[in-house]
């Protein structure tokens, strides 16, 4: 066991806050350990004028942290699970899944607005959010927007957007619930796979004595089901496919959104399974929805 644990994190306020949540949990498990947070700017944080699908996908948010883990510059990395690529590096496994924060999506109106105008301009770069917003607000149009929470809020005031869409989890972790104009239920807008869950990533073969204490079984089951659904459907950062699992006791209810790129139509379906078969549930639901969309 190490006497000093170095946590790698992106530089944004939210990323650091998430690293601090895990830091405090580690110290609670082992008060004798010293924990440092080492921040770095990832490629995905540097390039804000292009959509993720044009610059290389979600891997751009983890590449530098992965390299630091492999090189021994940090001992673990903390990520928002929804920002991690679906294909995991077996040498850098996810050691623990943190307690899930509010998984819902939210909308933030431009200051001065109390409701969306009929032809609202929505700031989002997420196709998943776009196709679901089109059903909720048929007259709206979309313009790309990227950056951390503070950057997006500044753009909302100065660049002609009427509203922008964000994850509730990040705003709540930052203590910024007051800026939320409306929450969308998970039925209205199915969240991204892993939304609201923190992932703790480490190196294969290393001993981490505290991981079992901070790993939340409900979060792990939900993560396995959601991410397997996205893998099987071929989803990535350019795909609007989505999945959200609710876990009560040993029962997992997985809701999936499958988008057919050929027909440009999407469908929603649900499967219920035992948590011990979470990954299998994601695969079964994905295969069924893909088959039925033909």
Q: Which two tokens stand for residue 68?
A: 């630091």
**SS3 state at 94:** strand
Query: Catalytic site residue 83?
Result: yes
Say how many CA atoms lie within 13 Å of 228 toward its Cβ. Answer: 18
Say how many CA atoms lie within 13 Å of 118 toward its Cβ. Answer: 0
DSSP state of 62: T
List 83, 102, 105, 162, catalytic entry? 83
DSSP state of 293: T
- Quickly list DSSP for 14-59: HHHHHHHHHHHHHHHH-TT-EEEEEEE--HHHH--SS-HHHHT-GG
Q: Which two tokens stand for residue 19?
A: 């690293």
The stretches of 35-161 forming alpha helices (DSSP H) are 43-46, 52-55, 63-71, 127-136, 149-158
- Quickly list DSSP for 155-214: HHHHSS-SEEEEEHHHHHHTT-GGG--EEPPTTTSPPPTTTT-EEEE--TT---TTHHHH
What is the rounded CA–CA span in Å between residue 85 and residue 73? 21
Q: Which long-range contacts (CB under 8 A, 24 or more apart) does 22-25 make?
A: 22/76, 22/78, 22/98, 22/198, 22/200, 22/214, 25/98, 25/210, 25/213, 25/214
Q: Which residues are catalytic?
A: 83
């Amino acid at each position: 066991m190490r006497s000093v644990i170095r946590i790698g994190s992106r530089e944004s306020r939210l990323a650091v806050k998430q690293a601090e949540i895990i830091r405090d949990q580690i110290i609670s498990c082992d008060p004798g350990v010293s924990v440092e947070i080492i921040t770095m700017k990832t490629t995905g944080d540097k390039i804000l004028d292009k959509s993720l699908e044009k610059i290389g996908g979600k891997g751009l948010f983890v590449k530098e942290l992965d390299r630091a883990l492999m090189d021994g510059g940090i001992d673990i990395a903390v990520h928002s699970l929804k920002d991690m690529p679906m294909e995991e590096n077996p040498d850098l496994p996810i050691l623990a899944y943190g307690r899930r924060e509010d998984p819902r999506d939210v909308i933030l109106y431009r200051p001065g607005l109390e409701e969306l105008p009929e032809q609202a301009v929505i700031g989002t770069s997420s196709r998943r959010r776009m196709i679901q917003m089109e059903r909720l607000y048929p007259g709206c149009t979309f313009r790309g927007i990227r950056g951390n929470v503070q950057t997006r809020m500044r753009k909302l005031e100065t660049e002609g957007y009427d509203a922008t869409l964000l994850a509730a989890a990040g705003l709540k972790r930052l203590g910024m619930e007051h800026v939320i104009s409306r929450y969308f239920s998970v039925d209205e807008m199915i969240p991204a796979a892993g939304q609201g869950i923190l992932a703790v990533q480490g190196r294969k073969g290393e001993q981490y004595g505290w991981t079992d204490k901070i790993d939340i079984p409900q979060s792990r089951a939900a993560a396995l089901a959601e991410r397997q659904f996205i893998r099987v459907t071929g989803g990535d950062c350019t795909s609007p496919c989505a999945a959200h699992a609710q876990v009560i006791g040993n029962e997992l209810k997985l809701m999936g959104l499958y988008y057919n790129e050929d027909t440009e139509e999407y469908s929603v379906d649900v499967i219920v399974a035992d948590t011990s078969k979470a990954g299998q549930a994601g695969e079964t639901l994905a295969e069924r929805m893909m088959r039925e969309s033909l």
